Structure 1
């Protein structure tokens, strides 16, 4: 019943910050999925008879890979596999289910916010027993195994019916097809006052949630329209599609253009939100105002105690290094610690497990807390709804009051996508060669206070992560940060993060790009990005 299949190593199976992401045709190569999955199992120890959670965002090739994993996990000796109905389960839900049932770990099938479809992207990520992404020591071991693998084991059985709830068996392994929403919805009801949120909607409050034809559709539909009583049609694009309906499921004002235009128009509802391909990111828009992810993190941290799950306060805030310093201002005012980590949610796991941080966030639209070990799009929306229910003010008023109290961090990210790798590396090396000489130099109104190649020392396990991004910090709180992203599947994505701190309320209503014009000019001058990439403007500005 268990078949041993000879294989040979396949180049390039190195997991990034969010697992192994490649184009679908790459994954469709013979043995490609099997080699990587077997390498995961070969790296782990002590899982015999234990539980594995499996789910994905429903993108193209999801169902086929689910079947491979079920058969290989059974062959490897897992005792029980919980798989989401239809092979579906959001990334936050996988984390929640791992934690609720004490599972050994889980496999998430997603390329997050990347496009789907036959020519789109696919990804496989392993999550450990705390519900979070595998740390580097595990992903490095998985990669090492992919380079020496010689065989994989798979149960030679028919496909499991993953559309019907209930249990089936593959040999001695129980495969349980579960409702992918139920456990997650139960957790949300423990964290938030659903009665108060129902009262908010009964009062005539209106919203639009765009699920972007991705995984959060079923979650938002059941929670926002079902449990909270929002009007039918509040959740749009609510059916997960293999190609996300042709959308790019990245929740930003560019890719969620229809939602953005609605919220900026005369017939805008009170509140707008969206989530991404696998449900871990969020977009927050009020009537007439887009809330940057960095501001959203800071505002939610400042008001988390309005939700029952955080009524006792928060222990600390953690943000990724490129995320704006807005959360730092909140932490300082609250008298709690701020932690600055490399990009990648896995770096927050130790802080959360140790009780050092409660709220975490990244500028790339990811926000979350210690309830799970992933960022969580629907959770962020529910915490915003809690804030709106308690404050009874429009989003724009809440944001402006926040700026008046803490100062405004004008912030923008300029993405240069699909840059030839050599050119992208050239930009980074040009900046790196100047790092030691930049402090003290003046560029017009901006004077460099310090510059470095960001390195992180984990205060919990003592590990060190180097070369995590190049930082140029100016006097007065402005910054320019440069890093190469690990989430794309072709070429390189060069991300430039630009920030200006403005404490004066008289200057807090400038258009963002205009407010950042000096920082943008200096960043381009120091990096030579236009000349080295041949791109006069970034691909995407958020």
Structure 2
């Protein structure tokens, strides 16, 4: 039986760069989840009888939301739902299942790297048939529908047993509960030289992978320990927990500090890595050597041909605008295209589908390739392992060799979290107003060469995305970028990206913040960060 339930709209269901994210109590409001899911279904067409993939990162409220989504998919006419056992699917694994099963789309229940728990964060994201996040025209339609929705459809059927692999019925719809790891692990085996990596582990290579009590734990145990032969316990914090063990599942140097300290210690293993809440981000640290996400993108692109899945070379490289230009120099040397997009993985989808790019990356610890349409944390870790196994060098040796060949991009991101939203908007408005007067101005001893508000013209579909971040470029190639993040759930996060290119190998060992000191001072003076936000220092430096 199908019920048509009358409802009233909420005015705060506008998806951000990675779907709708709010605190759990917001999602627990009457009809809040139902309204948004129905708005998704009402905004797309042609799904009757088709397949929908549903999964999440295991955070608090995951199971309840999955049951609602299954019942609504049944009532709205989907023919089949594929869901991960226990409600678990990493975001890249969900993308792969959508593509492998030629599904109509997917619903990913996650707030990525944000904290989980009864009063923490939850999220719902819709992915389209190519496996990637819904493009802006779809998310805009969803938001428009959510503001006028007056009813939703839901099937009056029992909850599905999410903990048992098998086939079940939800009204006229089939629900397949699948092993969340198996298909993804098979895909990884097709891309990487597992024999070479296995031999490296057998020779005594030591690694630590911190799953942060998030979704990649089961994936890391199966792939690293069982299939590749890494020592038992290589995957730490491997049990997904609804509150991520009370920790913040963001693989950066603040929230993965224990891993960083271990890798900088006397008895550090050869390789350290971590992933985030939903498995799409990565942290890479060698013994005594942290690899920035921007550098990691460039180094993976420069060495990707060493992995079987990329032995024919790359078609192109894409990076988000705030990501450092390190990858640009690799693309130039390889003679392939380089594409600069706004922040948000959905912008890479067109490039990947059109065959213009093979590897993509963002400075926010996201890297991936055309194997799926999401960034993929464990994929990046496995490509690093493949490179290490073939080159038989340490992470530090590979990094220093890369800098010697291409030069070093000193790079840092300063986050001012939880800034009062109006204050953050005033700061950005003032910056945009000042843009015409910045070129030629000297700030902190640096001369502004150019300044703009980044706009992206998609080379595939011709769409234009404006106001994607304010860029200030200085004479000599240094730059500062300012933008507001769309991944938080309270207040605003001001992100300031600072970059200096240094071609001189004799100057590649300066401490990063020291190397960027004048640019940091210039950023505060140009934007009036302290004046607008009241903050004298960032919340997080990465």
Same-fold status (TM-score > 0.5): yes
**In structure 2, C-alpha distance between the alignment counterparts of 1:462 and 1:454, rounded to whole Å:** 16
Match of 1:521 in 2: 521
For 1:268, the equivalent position in structure 2 comes to 268
Aligned equivalent of 1:61: 61
Residue 334 of structure 1 deviates from its aligned partner by 1.2
The question of 1:468 aligning with 2:468 is answered: yes
How many Å separate the matches in 2 of 1:486 and 1:444?
Answer: 30
Distance in 2 (CA, whole Å) between partners of 1:171 and 1:528 is 58
Report if aligned partners of 2:444, 2:519 keep a CA contact under 8 Å in 1. no
Q: Which residue of 2 aligns with 1:230?
A: 230
List per-residue Cα deviations over 1:487-532 (Å, max 9, x = no partner).
0000000000001110001111000000000100000000110111
Give the Cα separation in 2 of the matches to 1:476 and 1:282: 31
SS in 2 for 1:449: strand
Give a deviation string over 1:40-59, Cα, whole Å, max 9, x none.
01111111111000000000
Q: In structure 2, what is the equivalent of residue 336 of structure 1?
A: 336
1:164 aligns with 2:152: no
CA deviations 1:292-322 (Å, max 9, x no partner) are 0000000000011001000000011000000
For the residue of structure 1 that corresponds to 2:427, the secondary structure is helix
Q: Distance in 2 between matches of 1:360 and 1:462?
A: 20
User: Residue 229 of structure 2: SS of its match in structure 1?
Assistant: coil
The equivalent residue for 1:8 is 8
**How is 1:48-447 mapped onto 2 (pairs within 5 angstroms)?**
48-447=48-447
Contact 2:55 2:107 in 1 (8 A): yes
CA distance in 2, matches of 1:263, 1:444: 35
Q: What's the offset of the Cα at 1:242?
A: 0.2
Describe the superposition over 1:186-217 as per-residue Cα deviations: whole angstroms up to 9, x where unpaired. 10011011111101100100000000000000
Q: Are the equivalent residues in 1 in contact too, given 2:270–2:287 (CA < 8 A)? A: yes
Q: CA deviation at 1:445?
A: 3.8
Partner residue of 1:500? 500
TM-score, normalised with respect to structure 2? 0.99
SS in 1 for 2:402: helix
Whole-Å separation in 2 of the counterparts to 1:425 and 1:70? 39
Unmatched runs of 5 consecutive residues or more in structure 1: none
> After the TM superposition, which segments of 4 or more aligned residues of structure 1 sit over 3 Å from their partners?
none
Q: Is the 8 A contact 2:35 2:152 kept in 1?
A: yes
Aligned to 1:434, what secondary structure does the other structure show? helix
Distance of 1:353 and 1:11 partners within structure 2 = 34
Note the C-alpha offset of 1:107: 0.3
Instruction: State the distance in 1 between where 2:302 and 2:446 align.
Output: 30
Distance 1:513 1:77 in 2: 55
For 1:167 and 1:95, locate their aligned partners in 2 and report how far apart those are by CA, in whole Å.
21
CA offsets 1:261-308 (integer angstroms, 9 cap, x no match): 100001100000000000000000000011000000000000110010
**Equivalent position SS for 2:245:** helix
Counterparts of 2:507 and 2:310 in 1: how far apart (Å)?
34
Q: Deviations over 1:313-349 (max 9, x none)?
A: 0011000000001111111111111100000000000
SS in 2 for 1:254: coil
CA contact (8 A) 2:300 2:383 kept: yes
Partner of 2:455: 455
| Structure 1 Cα separation of the partners of residues 280 and 47 of structure 2 | 27
Tell me, what secondary structure is at the counterpart of 1:468?
coil
Provide the secondary structure at the position in 2 that maps to 1:433. Answer: helix
Mapped to 2, the partners of 1:45 and 1:425 lie a distance apart of: 36
Whole-Å separation in 2 of the counterparts to 1:127 and 1:13:
17
CA deviation vs aligned residue, 1:366-414 (integer Å, no higher than 9, x gap): 0000000000000000000011001111111110111111010000000
Say what the alpha-carbon RMSD is for the aligned residues: 0.6
Q: Distance in 2 between matches of 1:386 and 1:225?
A: 15
Matched length: 542
